[in-house]
Structure 1
């Protein structure tokens, strides 16, 4: 049996296979070591194919010794063999010692160069059928017609190719579609490694049985025949060599994160290859030493390293902590689960960064994949709670994601509870997002009259909307007395409840409805007065107001009347605080009672 000689792992060495000329039956080869950086490397073609299972039922002769290979590879070599000339090939299953894990990792790191330096990449799709032969014959005629136009056809757009296709003699569209459907279902299109193999090819051809066509021509087939390939097939066709490739996803963002999402359903016999096979075509992982193919690592370690690369800051030793990343057996122990949860992991990672790390790490995450992660309340709240770097992180989010940045009660609460930098964060919000911050405080004041069923919720929404309109058009009323807003809300809520339950007769109900509308109008008008008070308040007073408003009213044991009474007392305290003319009266929360 054939035994491999060690390969030079300190240089970009690889083995080449010389397929000896001969008849169909016995396959004889010689194999030798070459270097990708050498000036004397013999021109070679690279084979792209599927192993066709792990059972090696066929035999080829290499350097005079028998080597077992799969039936599909044996069939490919039979169809590639010439009776008259030898062929120099690179074939992974033969040229790599698959039992040597160090060598496998070394060779996978060279794959990009191996396929890009090949004279041609030959794609073997397997044995032909009548339908596939019919398709290939028509596409071969299209190739022959295009050659009549010289080299100009290489730069045609799709419309020009369709025009030429109409003039080509061919079989019926239904027969052509049958042949194409059969080929697109072949395992080759699902194999994750073929992405790197075909994407790095400077020239490629498709071989099915004894018939062959250029890869670019084959990639046109679905558009010419009217077939819509499945998503993963379309993605493979899009990256076949040709100028049209630049009009596809290939010219878009190809970082590892997006590639893993796009090709999560691709197949590999070794689950680690679901990551390793994409490194060579990724924009951010291709030339980094932080993530390299290494088959001495088990699956859990590969997932861990990939998580660190994707979700940790580049160029540092940071590895995400916590069960989300470390407990790889549940739920992320298997590669499939890891890939299916990439989006949620990305969100969790960003939230963790905003909460615990400095602004440079958050900035790096936003630059690498910020567009894929919508800014949520939880993320802003996490940044507001960052005790050391909170102000800087919040400022970055305001600068980079202003359109998505929203100030909510939970965000303010997180800042209030941030003992180290919360005050600076609230001052920042007052300066950078003044309207949003003050409107939120206004809403919290109004919520002081919420009853147990929250019946005034739609009124509050209308108040907020009206405030925004008033502010936009510069409207102000001259009525005094901010307290009336709360009286009107109480009256409105009471009348609304009577009207809703139909306690009054119809006529009274109509009058009740009109009174509700009148009270809402008064409430909306007077809401402006509360907003004016908030607008005139100093940042220090606003901070203290937020502290009071965002306490848990249920924690005030002993307040007569329960939670609703505590809310009312809170509101009165805040209004007194905000309207107090003397700055000397400002005190810390501990000295501002919620009840007399």
Structure 2
């Protein structure tokens, strides 16, 4: 029988994993509930979920539990690392939160920043080392390796590859990497501290590692990309943990980051915004029962009515609610959709004392009105306008027939004129 969660966690609880045994590539962990106020030393894992199926098996309390291949590899090496680490337990979101329980998911995601702040360290899993092409040719292509032991691995020689791994492109890892008291990076069985990684990365990019903490984060001027730069350089020894920024800044700065659930473009940044702004947003977020459309409308209402945006100035350009950079951060590209969302956001009295339930009911009522009115959205208006401008097939046929008839008449007149001459 597969592992099942006994009951939902409450907000002051946490589940942690304890490595038990790694025998012949069989991973065994204990999972236990603890109080947040008295957790044993643990590391919070920061990694990329990936798009693969949960095809691999680990054992939780001696019962099978399915995970994705990337997480299996991570847990394998973390079980070995635990033997010589300052922590005894691991926290992994895909396992320590019951992902099928929406109420628990909402509660735990709301405290995600605290989970990473309270960890002894954050362990960043970058994946397995890259084998030479000649070695890869001997491996069966249909079965990717789950473990690759290193032999003379050099972080400096591999920095271009490591700094462009998928990890650096994900929304959730932003707060995970920035909020941890200490950060260790892993690649197969190799470990490096974030400061040493940052040093290698800054040399590769040709920039200063210890920049002015009150200035902009250096991005380098290399022609070849180093995707890790914005995040890796975002940690500063004299700035941490004072790294909170307004939501509009974060959305713009990380507009290229990706996530599987579009709502996480906002939810994944909540731990990085100032307390007064977060207090307003926390009335609604995170809540995975709210539709993506409503998350966007509420966020735009917040950005429109919360006073920070009115003072926004970036590179000498004012940021307004319909700025391109802001919508790219929200993952909304069609301009017609942007106008519709802004129109809906303007109707929402975001700063009112109405309860979140009342506001969500108001949004649902507007959904029904839009549907009742025939979905008269800007998208459909634009399509209708294009169709009105475009002649119908019948009209095109009529124009063609009339044109041919006119040509025939001209030809007859010309022929008769020639005959009478």
For normalisation by structure 1, the TM-score amounts to 0.44
- 1:344-355 alignment, distance < 5 Å: none
Distance 2:81 2:28 in 1: 12
Which of these residues, 239, 243, 246, is aligned with residue 237 of structure 2? 243
Which fold has the larger relative contact order, with Cα–Cα distance below 8 Å and residues 6 or more apart in sequence? 2
Residue 311 of structure 1: aligned partner? 304
Q: Does the 8 A contact of 2:123 with 2:185 survive in 1?
A: yes
Which of these residues, 261, 273, 279, is aligned with residue 282 of structure 1? 273
**1:261 lines up with 2:273 in the alignment:** no
Shift of 1:97: 0.7
**1:23 lines up with 2:23 in the alignment:** yes
Distance 2:151 2:336 in 1: 43
Residue 102 of structure 1: aligned partner? 103
Q: Count residues in correspondence.
A: 295
**1:337 lines up with 2:304 in the alignment:** no
Residue 12 of structure 1: aligned partner? 12
For normalisation by structure 2, the TM-score amounts to 0.61
Residue 299 of structure 1: aligned partner? 292
Shift in alpha-carbon separation, 1:345–1:12, aligned structure 2, 3 A: farther
Shift in alpha-carbon separation, 1:138–1:74, aligned structure 2, 3 A: closer
Distance 1:345 1:233 in 2: 35
Deviating more after overlay: 83-92 vs 299-308: 83-92
- 1:45-64 alignment, distance < 5 Å: 45-64=43-62
Shift of 1:203: 0.5
**1:32 lines up with 2:23 in the alignment:** no
Look up the SS of the partner of 2:191 in the other structure: strand
- 1:490-569 alignment, distance < 5 Å: none
Shift in alpha-carbon separation, 1:231–1:292, aligned structure 2, 3 A: farther
- 1:358-437 alignment, distance < 5 Å: none
* CA RMSD, 1 decimal: 3.9
Q: Any unmatched runs of 5+ in structure 2?
A: 133-148, 207-221, 308-320, 322-326, 353-421
Look up the SS of the partner of 1:121 in the other structure: strand
Residue 373 of structure 2: aligned partner? none
Residue 40 of structure 2: aligned partner? 42
**1:77 lines up with 2:59 in the alignment:** no
Q: Which runs of 4+ in 1 moved over 4 A?
A: 83-86, 130-136, 229-232, 250-253, 338-350
Residue 3 of structure 1: aligned partner? 4
Look up the SS of the partner of 1:337 in the other structure: coil
Distance 2:234 2:80 in 1: 29
Shift of 1:251: 6.5
Q: Does the 8 A contact of 2:160 with 2:226 survive in 1?
A: no
Q: Any unmatched runs of 5+ in structure 1?
A: 140-175, 315-324, 326-331, 362-596
**1:93 lines up with 2:84 in the alignment:** no
Shift of 1:35: 2.1
Query: Which structure dedicates a bigger proportion of its chain to strand?
Result: 2
Distance 1:190 1:47 in 2: 16
Look up the SS of the partner of 1:68 in the other structure: strand
Look up the SS of the partner of 1:286 in the other structure: helix
Q: Does the 8 A contact of 2:40 with 2:88 survive in 1?
A: no
Query: Which structure dedicates a bigger proportion of its chain to helix?
Result: 1
Distance 2:341 2:243 in 1: 20
Distance 2:81 2:272 in 1: 37
Q: Does the 8 A contact of 1:24 with 1:78 survive in 2?
A: no
Q: Deviations over 1:410-458 (max 9, x none)?
A: xxxxxxxxxxxxxxxxxxxxxxxxxxxxxxxxxxxxxxxxxxxxxxxxx
Distance 1:267 1:15 in 2: 27
Distance 1:245 1:133 in 2: 35
Look up the SS of the partner of 2:6 in the other structure: coil
Look up the SS of the partner of 1:305 in the other structure: helix
Residue 118 of structure 1: aligned partner? 119
Q: Deviations over 1:25-60 (max 9, x none)?
A: 111111111222x2x321111111111224101001
